[in-house]
């Protein structure tokens, strides 16, 4: 692997898990349909044959149960990767994630750490209706004790898993379902950090601050804006907790205008937190009020045209940016 090569997000996630399973016998994968079926999204296709049922474990439909089992395995010295099919079902496991995994180090006075990785799909856009279209990563980012990653590029999908497994505390990885078929260049790099935001497109006039499934939309908007003479910088947050405030401030200080884009609803959503950081740390750099493009405040509709209308789209981002100029 000495040259960059093209692959899909799906392949990148699969390779990352395969590499970890091969490299460390403590790593195992557990979740609904990960074994015999090869994974709901085919992330673990062929794993059962290669690693056997001890390390590729199909679970019953009980998120509370198998996430709790993962916590126990981590406490016992293993390095579990627990796949929760989607963030929608993770609500059943909230008690294990928030009350147990996130807090055990604190509650035990530092005696126990939980080196657990939980992966889950998030987001809307595939006509799966309201109950299967949530973007609740902002909820998890609220909780001290866990780290929250949102890989949105091929390289992050390929490389974020390893540092997440190496982390002594629980790490939750949100993979936006709209990205799985995205194909792109995987640069020839050894790895990535899980602490900083990254500039995905350099610009000077406005900072588009986003993460996850909205990153390609922000990049598309930036291309449209460039044809009209507005050079947008696109900042991929990558890590929602701990949030890279310095990276956000640097982008705002450079462009003096900012639009925050995410698939949360505005009220109490993650974009609000980013805007608050800007107010706190970069107020005097602002040349216009900070704007945001989020999902409409409705349950995500099933009908295609309504779903599209409810979600952030490149045209909405372009319009929001133009609103910051006269």
Residues contributing to the site for other proteins (CB under 8 A): 256, 283-288, 323-326
Which one of the listed residues 11, 32, 83, 132 is annotated catalytic?
Answer: 132
Based on the residue annotation, tell me whether 142 is a catalytic residue of this protein.
no
Q: Between 271 and 320, name the residue whose CB sits nearer to other proteins.
A: 320
Minimum separation from the CB atom of position 284 to other proteins (A): 5
Q: Which is nearer to other proteins, 259 or 324 (CB)?
A: 324
- Closest to other proteins by CB, 77 vs 229, is 229
Nearer to other proteins, 50 or 287 (CB): 287
In whole angstroms, the minimum distance from the beta carbon of 230 to other proteins comes to: 13
Q: Which of 63, 155, 175, 263 is catalytic?
A: 63
Show the 3-state SS of the chain. CCCCEEEEHHHHHHHHHHHHHHHCCCEEEEECCCCCCCCCCCCCCCHHHHHCCCCEEECCCCHHHHHHHHHHHHHCCCEEEEEEEEHHHHHHHHHHHHHHHCCHHHHCCCCCCCCCEEEEEECCCCCCCHHHCCCCHHHHHCCCCCEEECCCCHHHHHHCHHHHHHCCCCEEEEEEHHHCCCEEEECCCCCCCCCCCEEEECCCCEEEEECHHHHHHHHHHHHHHHHCCCCEEEEECCEEECCCHHHHHHHHHHHCCEEEEEEEECCCCHHHHHHHHHHHHHHHHCCCCCEEEEECCCCCCCCHHHHHHHCCCHHHHHHHHHHCCC
Residue (232 or 240) nearer to other proteins, CB: 232
Q: How far is the CB of 285 from other proteins (least distance, A)?
A: 5
Which residue carries 């679970």 as its tokens?
Answer: 59
Smallest gap from Cβ 76 to other proteins, in A, equals 52
Which residue, 40 or 245, has its beta carbon nearer to other proteins?
A: 245
Residue 106: active-site member: no
Rounded distance between C-alpha atoms, residue 252 and residue 237, angstroms:
13
Torsion on CA atoms 262, 263, 266, 272, rounded to nearest 10: -30
Q: Which residues are catalytic?
A: 63, 132
């Amino acid at each position: 692997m000495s040259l960059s090569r093209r692959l899909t997000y799906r392949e990148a996630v699969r390779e990352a898990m395969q590499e970890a399973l091969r490299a460390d016998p403590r790593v195992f994968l557990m979740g609904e349909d990960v074994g015999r079926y090869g994974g709901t999204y085919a992330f673990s296709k062929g794993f059962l044959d290669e690693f056997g049922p001890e390390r590729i474990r199909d679970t019953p439909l009980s998120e509370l149960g198998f996430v709790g089992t993962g916590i126990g395995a981590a406490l016992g010295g293993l390095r579990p990767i627990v796949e929760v099919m989607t963030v929608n079902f993770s609500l059943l496991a909230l008690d294990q994630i928030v009350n147990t995994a996130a807090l055990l180090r604190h509650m035990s006075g530092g005696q126990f750490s939980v080196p657990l990785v939980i992966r889950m799909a998030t987001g809307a856009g595939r006509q799966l209706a309201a109950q299967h279209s949530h973007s609740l990563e902002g909820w998890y980012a609220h909780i001290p004790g866990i780290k929250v990653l949102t890989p949105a590029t091929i390289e992050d999908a390929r490389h974020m898993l390893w540092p997440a497994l190496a982390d002594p505390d629980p790490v939750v990885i949100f993979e936006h379902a709209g990205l799985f078929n995205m194909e792109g260049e995987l640069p020839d790099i050894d790895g990535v950090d899980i602490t900083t935001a990254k500039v995905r497109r350099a610009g000077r006039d406005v900072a588009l601050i986003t993460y996850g499934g909205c990153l390609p939309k922000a990049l598309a908007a930036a291309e449209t804006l460039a044809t009209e003479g507005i050079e947008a910088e696109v900042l991929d947050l990558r890590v929602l907790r701990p949030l890279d405030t310095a990276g956000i401030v640097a982008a705002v200080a450079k462009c003096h205008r900012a639009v925050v884009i995410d698939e949360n609803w505005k009220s109490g959503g993650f974009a609000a937190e980013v805007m608050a950081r800007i107010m706190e740390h970069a107020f005097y750099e602002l040349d216009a009020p900070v704007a945001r493009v989020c999902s409409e405040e409705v349950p995500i509709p099933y009908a295609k045209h309504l779903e599209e209308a409810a979600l952030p789209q490149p045209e909405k981002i372009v319009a929001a940016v133009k609103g910051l100029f006269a």
